[in-house]
A and B are shown apart, each in its own frame.
Chain A
Amino acid sequence: MQKSFFHIVFLFGLLLSFTGWGQVDTTVHLSAVEIAAAKLRQLPVGSPSQEWTSVQLEKITATNIASLLGEETGSFIKNYGTGTLATSSIRGGNGGHTLVLWNGLPIQSPMLGLLDLSLLPVAGVESVSFQKGGNTALWGSGAIGGLVSLNNESDFSNQFSIENQTVLGSFGYWQQVGKLKIGNHKFQSNTRVSYEKGDNDFEYEIAPTLPKRQQTNANFRQRNIQQDFYWKLNQQNQLDVHLWRQDIHRAIPPTNVQNRSVAYQDDWSNRVIANWKHIGSHAIWNIKTGFFDEYQDFVNDLIRLQAHNHFQSYFGELTRQWTWRKSHQLLLGGTHTYTKAWSKNYTGTILENKSALFASWKWQHGNWAIQSSLRQELVDGGFAPLVPVAGLDYQLASFLNLQFKISKNYRLPTLNDRYWTPGGNASLQPESGWSEEATIRTQSKKGNWQWTGAITGFNRLINNWILWTLPQGQNFWAAHNLTEVWSRGLEPRFSVSFHQQDIQLQLKGGYDYIRSTNQVALETPRIAQGDQLIYTPTHQAFGKLALEWKGIYGSYHHQFIGSTEGINDPIPAYQVGTVRIQYNTTINAYRGNLFFTINNVWDANYVVVERRPMAGRHYQLGVHFLMAR
């Protein structure tokens, strides 16, 4: 029985790997059971997903999750400048509409409701998965536009490995990553230390006739220490503990219409997660607990402003997943989150209690896979919207796959939305609404050639969209449920690959057409009915060509972002190219690579956020070394 179950799970894993279009060299370090346990929530049925393993992450130029999403998925990243704040805009949402998980727990700030994706180093995880669309039913508030999962994973076949990466780059960039993994088939210890810094004192063009201006007060420094323990107590029980200490200093540069800035922001975070997993003959139990303690200090001595924010979140989660009759899986779970937050702009300590029950059922038979989930959350004694989701995968033919998903989703108001003084509004309702999406995917293989093509269409209407507005006769901004946002679009993707002996060639690309419009006219902020959301490009596209031959790997990535509206002015479209050349070699237990990256290879003069110039052409040279036994 258990063997059959493993087969099903494994096949299911294969199916999911097909749904992750355009990815090659997928190496999954987890056992099949672990895949099923994780993927039922992280990669649910009904929408496309992508996953990067540690081997794939080695070939990617991105050093943080913001760059990874921008370069590999074509997602729009709202970047305030090299080394500074970066948030995502997935399917016309804002940064708070993409939920980011670290080993299954949300790491968004409950005060701001979003996460700076530039603070998440790619080197800090073994795998990353990404799925667009609504996932609130399985993960809770915020998973409206997309879900990013950062995962640390065990490899019980490892005995000893040591890894180092050094990257030097333009504008004083230096990254140092060290990893040490020790263990046996019962116990594994993974230690990671990383240090990253940059001066970002690049020059940018103001006008062709004027001398370039050098960016100032733009340096950053980031330190990460991570420790993972994996203890396989026996065949049925495993205990994982993850610890992550982050320490970040970032200077805030002036805008291009500001003479000077001395502002800076310091972020400290301590995160710990413990997860116990019990694998029975028909069910998998997971008990997870976590504690996050995070500080954020913003200091601008020029204007005598110091803002100190601090929060602590405690998490508890219990899930049980059953499998029966080979084709059914049922997941039941409950979570509780207790948050304490402090800020000078809060009246006293803010406490928040959130509890949720959720269930997910999946049926898979032949060419069909159906998954349906439901969640009810209780926030400080009040009910959040009841959110269902239903997804469908259908393999119509060997070359044709269909997916469909309909879901209701919500985003709770942040603590700042509710309690900030002045302007916080404790009576805010959650943003909520329905979204639908459908995907047609085709794939074919002939000889050494393989190609895939897919197109996804989506539609989403979110009510009670929260905006801060300046009421007439009032001199402070306040949060209100002001508008309704209708997002819809098309996301075609393609991938062509060729593989013969030592040669691998891959070409992939995609285009996003996204209309995300306010449906209610407002005076302040000044928004007309039907206006596209600011910082939401209607058109964006990307393409990547990669060639690998006998350990030599080269890639060219090109991204086009169409014009967007900023708060003050329109932002012109821009195109950015990135070249990476890498040499990989393996000698016995030693593996190493040397890589060279040219960012913004065409030296484009552009901004992503108005008045915030980006760096022109710049370079990075790195060496990566791994010794494994």
Chain B
Amino acid sequence: MGQGKSQFTEEELQDYEDLTYFTKSEVLYAHQKFKELAPEKVGHNKNAKLPMAKILQYPELRVNPFRDRICKVFSSSNDGDCTFEDFLDMMSVFSQNAPKSVKAEHAFRIFDFDGDDMIGVSDLSEVVERLCGVELKLSESEIQALIQNVLQEADLDDDGALSFAEFEHIIDKSSDFSHSFRIRL
């Protein structure tokens, strides 16, 4: 897998292996994928910062309804532009080996659109709207009913919003989450 003319030194790879859920060859494979997004730029500087539009060319992200949120959450400059390390971070969290709790943490941040550390009614309606896509729209009352049901199930302390603990509880009880919240490298 291109071990020969790699852009990384052994120490860097070891470092990545220590800090992510990837092995060395997976890191290299991830870099290959990253490079495919902008061969010129990454060829010059292996840790180049790519604008969000470029990152969204990644096949799984291109069709994802939460694509901009994902980029923002993982971007180290908080504006959606990602360096290779941010990209690696993203892939590491979405990988099969990441534990459910880490995935839940990031899912929470992705779904928390207004960034108040709670998933409130507005966040939920945004999530539902994005899930249904551009063509199909649920009516306002349906969305509200849906949100009320979600809160009824998940909001244990009755404050009208999901805190992280409540969100994690839901995720913990879902067998499908680690299946669905996964992007293969």
A binds B: no
What residues make up the interface of B, taking CB atoms closer than 8 Å to A? none
